[in-house]
């Protein structure tokens, strides 16, 4: 009959062996290597078309960090696509379900061959790129879209209160557009307000409500006279489309833009946190009627990138 000391040692040995088995690197039939860190039972695995929400870090074979959703401030949300080559990241994601955590090793040469681009110097040929993933959610596309609508509606109320509190604290006397953009005219301009099809030239400084500047037309000599873009073509964030229409040529003002009319739940990694109300001090330098000579949106800064929301 075993004594308690022997039983305790055996239990410890079983626990160690189980931990080693759990964290061992496994290989699929296609050759994909992966290492499970957490394996949650009784949850649905992701399938093609599902939307996966996950955090990840990406490292090269020398353990150097190449990217991180944690650093960007928001998890990745993307539909799972069919695997495009043997041993792809998509193949690894299809092994996971909500709550799972794993490191997926993808051959760098395969990625380069698929993208038809040479590997950078910091990724050696023949090495693996390690994607360490923590799955936060797995949803059908329908459920994901419904959830997004619900979250946007909830965020509208949060943003409205944030703007109202900020305006009251700073004793601002402004007005609101239909989408909730709060604007204060600090210097009246002259002439008609710009409309869709007009090309406007705008000087701007973009800030978080904390006062931290994230972008400015002054930062680049090419844009110090202002940036040009056509109204009504979706070239700028919706809050700009509405806010700039409230000014006249030569006018100045402050736009306080709810997240839904700015950069939404994604924000701008490294510059604007997710679901941020943001503020712009703007000057409408010029208005050219009818869109003649439109150069297009600037696209380089965080303030008015092409295709924003």
The three-class DSSP label of residue 276 is coil
DSSP 53-75: EEEEEEE-TT--EEEEHHHHTS-
**Complete domains list, the chain, with CATH:** 22-143 (3.10.50.40), 155-291 (3.10.50.40)
pLDDT of residue 45: 87
**SS3 (DSSP) at 32:** coil
Exposed/middle/buried for 206, CB within 10 Å: 0-12, 13-18, 19+? Answer: buried
Supply the DSSP symbol for 221: G
Other beta carbons within 10 angstroms of residue 261's beta carbon come to 25
Distance CA 206, CA 267 (A): 13
> What does the block give as tokens for 1?
């009959």
At residue 3, the pLDDT reads: 52
Q: What are the per-10-residue average pLDDT scores of the chain (309 residues)?
A: 48 46 81 94 89 95 92 88 92 94 94 88 92 96 94 94 96 93 95 93 96 92 89 93 95 96 89 94 92 42 40
Q: Are strands 76-79 and 101-107 parallel, antiparallel or unpaired?
A: unpaired
Q: State residue 13's pLDDT score.
A: 43
Q: What is the C-alpha separation between 253 and 281, in angstroms, rounded?
A: 6
Q: How far apart are CA 100 and CA 35, in angstroms?
A: 11
- Return the pLDDT at 194: 94
The length of the chain, given as a count of residues:
309
| Dist CA 136 CA 99 (whole Å) | 6
Distance (Å, whole) CA 173 – CA 254: 11
Cα separation values, 187 from 13, 247, 252, 274, Å: 76, 9, 5, 31
Helices in 69-140 by DSSP H: which ranges?
69-72, 89-93, 108-115
Q: Between β-strands 199-208 and 213-216, what pairing exists: parallel, antiparallel or unpaired?
A: antiparallel
Supply the pTM of this predicted model: 0.70
What six digits make up the tokens of 23?
């964290």
Task: Look at strands 51-59 and 76-79 and give their pairing.
Answer: antiparallel
Distance, CA of 43 to CA of 285 (rounded, Å): 57
The string of pLDDT tens digits covering residues 206-215 is 999 999 999 9
3 state DSSP class of 217: helix
Measured CA to CA in angstroms, residue 307 lies from 115, 303, 304 at distances of 24, 12, 9
Structure confidence at residue 21 (pLDDT): 52
């Amino acid at each position: 009959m075993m004594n308690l000391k022997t039983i305790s040692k055996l239990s410890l040995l079983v626990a160690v062996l189980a931990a080693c088995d759990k964290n061992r690197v496994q290989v699929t039939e296609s050759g994909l290597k992966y290492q499970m860190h957490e394996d949650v039972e009784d949850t649905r695995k992701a399938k093609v078309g599902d939307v996966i929400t996950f955090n990840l870090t990406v490292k090269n074979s020398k353990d150097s960090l190449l990217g991180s959703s944690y650093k960007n401030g928001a998890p990745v949300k993307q539909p799972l696509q069919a695997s495009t080559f043997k041993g792809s990241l998509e193949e690894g994601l299809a092994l996971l379900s909500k709550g799972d955590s794993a490191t997926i090793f993808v051959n760098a040469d395969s990625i380069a061959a698929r993208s038809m681009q040479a590997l950078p110097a910091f990724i050696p040929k023949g090495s693996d790129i390690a994607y360490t993933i923590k799955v936060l959610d797995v949803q059908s596309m329908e459920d994901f879209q419904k959830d997004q609508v619900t979250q946007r509606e909830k965020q509208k109320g949060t943003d409205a209160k944030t703007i109202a509190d900020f305006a009251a604290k700073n004793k601002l006397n402004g007005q609101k557009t239909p989408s909730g953009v709060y604007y204060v005219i600090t210097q009246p301009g002259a002439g008609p307000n710009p409309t869709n099809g007009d090309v406007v030239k705008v000087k701007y400084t973009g800030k978080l409500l904390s006062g931290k500047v994230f972008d400015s037309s002054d930062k680049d000599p090419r844009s110090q006279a202002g940036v040009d873009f056509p109204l009504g073509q979706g070239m700028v964030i919706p809050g700009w489309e509405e806010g700039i229409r409230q000014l006249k040529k030569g006018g100045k003002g402050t736009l306080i833009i709810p997240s839904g009319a700015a950069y939404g739940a994604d924000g701008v990694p490294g510059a604007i946190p997710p679901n941020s109300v943001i503020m712009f001090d703007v000057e409408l330098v010029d208005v050219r009627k009818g869109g003649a000579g439109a150069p297009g949106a600037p696209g380089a800064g965080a303030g008015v990138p092409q295709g924003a929301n």
